[in-house]
């Protein structure tokens, strides 16, 4: 996807990250949770609330006009407030969202590879995520080195050992 750029996410991107969390949650066409419902749900809101904390980091994919089309970000969550893909306090959890019209065009893979490189550059050795098994992104994560470490009714927690 040579027509796309990637830049670091900043505190100014907080609203776009909420948009991308909405996209990630609503990956199923028949699921249509509103922004308000997602932000009112503490189990989802903690992926974006208070962005950007000192240990938060992420990347934004932008089209040739510099319009954001996707985001990938890490957040360290705790056992007291775990994410769906929580494995431990020292393993950041990944969230990726891509604008619907840009899905299936390599944006997610490009963001995933770039954000894993950024994590590695920060000395992070392991990253986690949660993905619903029916989501096509589950195949992307497996192809990029993630392995399932815990399974639930419809979703898996996956980790990637990325060095450091």
What average pLDDT does range 1-8 have in this prediction? 83
> Domain-by-domain residue ranges, the chain?
5-161
Order of strands across the sheet with 93-98? 5-8, 57-62, 68-75, 93-98, 126-132, 155-161, 147-151
The Cα 133–Cα 120 span in angstroms is 26
Per-residue pLDDT reduced to its tens digit, 97-154: 999 889 888 999 999 999 999 999 999 999 999 999 888 889 999 999 999 999 899 9
The Cα 101–Cα 9 span in angstroms is 21
Q: What is the pLDDT of residue 63?
A: 94
Above 60 in pLDDT, residue 7?
yes
Q: What is the CATH number of domain 5-161?
A: 3.40.630.30
Above 80 in pLDDT, residue 53?
yes
Q: What is the pLDDT of residue 144?
A: 93
Polymer length of the chain = 164
Above 90 in pLDDT, residue 92?
yes
Q: What is the pLDDT of residue 164?
A: 57
Q: What is the pLDDT of residue 2?
A: 57
In the chain the first and final C-alpha atoms are separated, in Å, by 27
Above 70 in pLDDT, residue 1?
no
pTM of the model: 0.92
Per-residue pLDDT reduced to its tens digit, 18-38: 999 999 998 887 888 999 999
Above 90 in pLDDT, residue 89?
yes
The Cα 105–Cα 108 span in angstroms is 8
Per-residue pLDDT reduced to its tens digit, 68-81: 999 999 999 999 99
The Cα 63–Cα 19 span in angstroms is 16
């Amino acid at each position: 996807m040579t027509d796309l750029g990637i830049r670091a996410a900043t505190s100014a991107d907080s609203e776009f990250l909420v948009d991308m969390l909405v996209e990630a949650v609503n990956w199923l066409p028949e699921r249509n949770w509103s922004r308000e419902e997602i932000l009112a749900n503490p189990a989802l809101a903690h992926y974006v609330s208070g962005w950007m904390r000192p240990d938060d980091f992420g990347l934004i994919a932008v089209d040739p006009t510099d319009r954001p089309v996707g985001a990938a970000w890490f957040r360290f969550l705790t056992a007291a407030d775990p994410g769906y893909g929580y494995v431990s306090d020292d393993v950041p959890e990944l969230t990726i969202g891509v604008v619907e019209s840009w899905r299936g065009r390599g944006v997610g893979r490009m963001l995933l590879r770039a954000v894993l490189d950024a994590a590695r550059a920060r000395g992070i050795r392991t990253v986690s995520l949660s993905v619903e098994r029916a989501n096509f992104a589950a195949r992307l994560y497996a192809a990029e080195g993630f392995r399932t470490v815990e399974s639930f009714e419809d979703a898996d927690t996956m980790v990637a050992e990325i060095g450091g």
